[in-house]
Amino acid sequence: MLVAAAVCPCPPLLVPEVATGAAPELDAARAACADAVGLLAAARPDRLYVVGAAPDGGHGVHPAGSTGSFAGFGVDLSVRLGEAPAGDGDEGARRALPTSLAVGAWLLGRAGWADAPIEGLGVDGAATPDVCAGLGRGLADSAGRVALLVLGDGSACRTVKAPGYLDERAEDFDAAAARALGTADTAALLALDTGLAHELKAAGRAPWQVLAGAAQGAGLDGRLLFEDAPYGVGYFVAAWS
């Protein structure tokens, strides 16, 4: 059963070593993410799943001990998703973490997470809401007390300098997503338009809908801890408990 969830953005710039001189620009987002991850630990879960968009490959399960790298962003920095179970030495069977899960691993490492076993799930950005919800229900049913760290960004079309240029529909899309994330409204998350999300380059849509599936019937309350659109991309941090 899902007992807690944290929603965080996943730009590589969240990692100070990647952002370098621009690092202070996302200090407020980092602080909110730290608060959200801390609330996950307070829920004392039996298992934590790190769920993120995988547009760069890496769909499917990533077991504990999987590693990711920010070398593609010019930084010699590697991260690990928790520790592999004792006696599990099959490093070759683990695929590299997609960027979203690497950011999640960095957030957990920064928090010193050692509260529950971890597993990663990279979500195909083309997955339908029904498929995403089914994945979420499977995660929620996998242990008595389940927590999710969900990584995903909103639209990338909020300004002319945004990665997707300016799209006048982006602000309304992000506002609807922020309301749903801030109120733990699973129906509203599942109702986010797949086609519009794709056009607006909102990579968080599929992971958020996995969360919605996991939370159905759980009776969780939500709080929006951070909302902004630096660099023309919608970033949200929310905590559900």
Say what angle helices 205-215 and 129-140 make with each other, to 10 degrees.
50
Q: Which domains does the chain have, with CATH numbers?
A: 2-240 (3.40.830.10)
Q: How far apart are CA 150 and CA 165, in angstroms?
A: 26
Q: What angle do CA 175, 176, 181 make, to 5 degrees?
A: 100
Please state, for a pLDDT cut of 70, what percent of the chain lies above it.
Answer: 95
Amino acid letter for position 101: L
Question: In the predicted model, what is the mean pLDDT of the chain?
Answer: 94
Q: How do beta strands 2-8 and 146-151 pair?
A: parallel
Amino acid letter for position 236: F
Confidence of residue 87 (pLDDT cuts 50, 70, 90): low
3-class secondary-structure state, position 221: coil
- Among the listed ranges 107-116, 134-143, 181-190, which one has the minimum average pLDDT value? 107-116
47 secondary structure, DSSP code: E
